[in-house]
Chains A and B, each alone.
Chain A
Amino acid sequence: MSQQAPDIDGATENLTLVQAVRDGLQSEMRDDEDVLVMGEDVGKNGGVFRATDGLYEEFGEDRVIDTPLAEAGIVGTAIGMAAYGLKPVPEIQFLGFIYPAFDQIVSHAARLRTRSRGRFTAQMVIRAPYGGGIRAPEHHSESTEAMFAHQPGLKVQIPSTPYDAKGMLIAAIRDPDPVVFLEPKLIYRAFREEVPDESYEVPLGEAAVRREGSDISVFTWGAMTRPTMEAAEELAEEDGIDAEVVDLRSMSPLDKDTIVESFKKTGRAAVVHEAPKSGGLGGEIATIIQEEALMYQEAPVERITGFDTPFPLYALEDYYLPEPARIKKGIRDAVSF
């Protein structure tokens, strides 16, 4: 468990989350010539979200590779490169476009280590912007982290701050296992944070307590971290409810220790995620609490989530995504149970 971004020595730059992603890629590509980037429009164009801006100019077409429009080919080719010992970082333009590559991820990347008795691993990071709030429906906005977290052999990571984005991405690139690295595009440019110029790792697999509290544990991640923090601050002021906010960061493996430790302290929990409720990670977190800390439990676990529908367009999006008012209601329900 760690707190907010640690004290930073040395030079920093005030970066947005997407700039920090770019900074992390650049840093690792400078340090390790086996690291390379590939995907649709990542080269000359610098990526549709500018996450690879300037990398083509610095590293050239052999390490910043524009690919044909075929996700199975992007990820599948990267798997073969990783099997050989390169460290590809394929980009999927939007997470919802990943389905043609799902077979490659599940059938090859996630199983290479098992299939080869640990002698091959697919050391690769599949980056994809995900999540809603940008006024685009269906594939351009959905959150399917649970589909990947369900797959043994994958690690699924979601940063919610620029500092974490750079440090977690570097740690992911160095990790020997395949990592699905999901970037909350709603907050790609929502705020800035001081990010060290130098290379650093934020350890994978560890949740971060963003706000300490004693009345209820609220588990969230990605773009939902900010409205959850907002809700927690308002509840403290309006109702005197002291909520602990835990940014899980790692969807797989889940940081069970931090989840259970926080829950034992508060005895109540809510989970906030923008993915649909059924089969979402909220259910997994609630079950971990039941298994590990049943006797501490004082209320049902509230799930404040997206709906069990395809991701909607425009006006309906505002209902679909959890926002502070809905989050506050869920937390009040759990606390007043």
Chain B
Amino acid sequence: MVSDTNPHFEDVDAETVDELLEQMVRIRRFEEGVLDEFSEGSVPGFVHLCHGHEASHAGMGVAMQPDDWLAVGGSRLHGQYIVKGVPFDEIMAELFGKATGPNGGKGGSMHLADVDRHLYGHAATIGSGQNPAAGLALAQQMRETGNVVLSTIGDGGTSRGSFHTALVFAAAWNLPVVYIIENNGFAISYSTQQQVGIDSLADYGKPLNIPSYSIDGSDPVAVYETISEAITRAREGGGPTLVESRVTRLRGHFEGDKQAYRTEEEARESNAERDPVTNFQERVIEAGHITAEAYDALVDEIDDEVGAAIQFAKDSPDPAPSTAYEDVLRLPLYGQGEGDA
């Protein structure tokens, strides 16, 4: 069931296509659920939705093994949590700030961390997470675990020095790490073309002789293949890889962003042309990989799971005030009593 129109389909097996499709739909439907709940006022703070990044997240997630580490970065994170295997219930509860979230409701949308699933948490100082990722990779190398580290970042974060420092360390020590730049063309409002003076962000790897690729991040098969190759290289001792995954940001930076920096027409065009979910949906149906009915059934099934996660989050308790001092430092603090942190 290989489509002539898709040169990539022939390179991956049907099972992988299934996985890529399912992960993409899971991300999109989850985010639609978040959007509804955010509009209703159920989700505190603000949210950055992944619309447009689904193929990049799915390709990366399907390429990695459960024991590989993911140090998430950039702003569009929910899809990355999903492909790392964190259940909908837990992610949704964290977004709602509930005690049942992986961070106990203290992390929210941006800071979800799950050591059991080898998901390293994110700091909002984007471009800083690449250094701990290098450290995780050094630890894998030293302890010969065979696991690799994937680390994501947005286009905006690549201007920070700590990102480049991480590349220096990774190259110097030949670390088993794959850095993925999700370039969606905007650091909030500032276009990538304005931000940097180079054609491709993958060029940042060149001076360090890091194998570097710039790919269409809206094509899950391309992402899967490139990152699989990078992971294999890292696992076999071949060192780091830098991948620029060119994606589209289909919504504002945050929900409520008026997007004064781009016209409605520009936004509409990018939606129509580069929505990775509808594009891939059409491709797999046209290729006969899945029927339209089966696709609809998949969406319904995932929607049910999203609905259940929303209900779980709503039913979950808020964190108790007594937990405010928990998990800052080990308690009791040198015999000075709990709550004295």
Give chain A's interface residues, CB within 8 Å of chain B. 62, 67-68, 70, 72-73, 75-86, 88, 100, 103-104, 107-108, 111-121, 152-153, 155, 175-177, 203-206, 253, 255-257
Contacts and interface: CB of A to CB of B under 8 A. Distances in A.
B32 to A, nearest CB: 27
A76 B149 CA distance: 15
User: Which A-B residue pairs are the 7 nearest by beta carbons?
Assistant: A76-B131, A80-B135, A205-B334, A80-B132, A84-B139, A107-B123, A77-B135
Contacts of A82: 135
Contact of A83 (B123, B125, B136): B136
Interface stretch (B51-59, B100-108, B212-220): B100-108
B116 A119 contact: yes
A295 to B, nearest CB: 22
A121 B331 CA distance: 13
14 contacts: A73-B165, A76-B128, A78-B135, A79-B135, A80-B136, A83-B135, A84-B136, A86-B139, A115-B106, A116-B102, A116-B327, A153-B328, A203-B334, A253-B329
A73 B103 contact: no
A76 B165 contact: yes
B103 A117 contact: yes
B179 to A, nearest CB: 13
Contacts of B107: 115
Most interface-central of B102, B107, B132 (chain A CB within 10 A): B132
A115 B121 contact: yes
A51 to B, nearest CB: 22
A76 B162 contact: yes
Contacts, number: 158
A86 B333 CA distance: 23
Nearest to B111: A115
A81 B135 CA distance: 5
Interface stretch (B76-84, B166-174, B185-193): B166-174
B138 interface: yes
Contacts of A88: 135
Nearest to B120: A83
Interface residues of B, number: 50
B134 A77 contact: yes
A100 B121 contact: no
Contacts of A79: 131-132, 135
A152 B328 CA distance: 7
B64 interface: no
A155 B121 contact: no
A176 to B, nearest CB: 5
A279 B129 CA distance: 30
Nearest to A88: B135
A73 B111 contact: no
Contacts of B123: 103, 107-108, 111
Nearest to A120: B115
A85 B162 CA distance: 23
B336 interface: yes
Nearest to B135: A80
A155 B329 contact: yes
A86 B137 CA distance: 12
A195 B121 CA distance: 41
Contacts of B111: 115
Nearest to A155: B329
A73 B131 contact: yes
B169 A77 contact: yes
A253 B341 contact: yes
Given A73-B169, A117-B103, A117-B104, A81 B329 contact: no
A116 B113 contact: yes
Given A62-B142, A81-B136, A108-B128, A176 B330 contact: yes
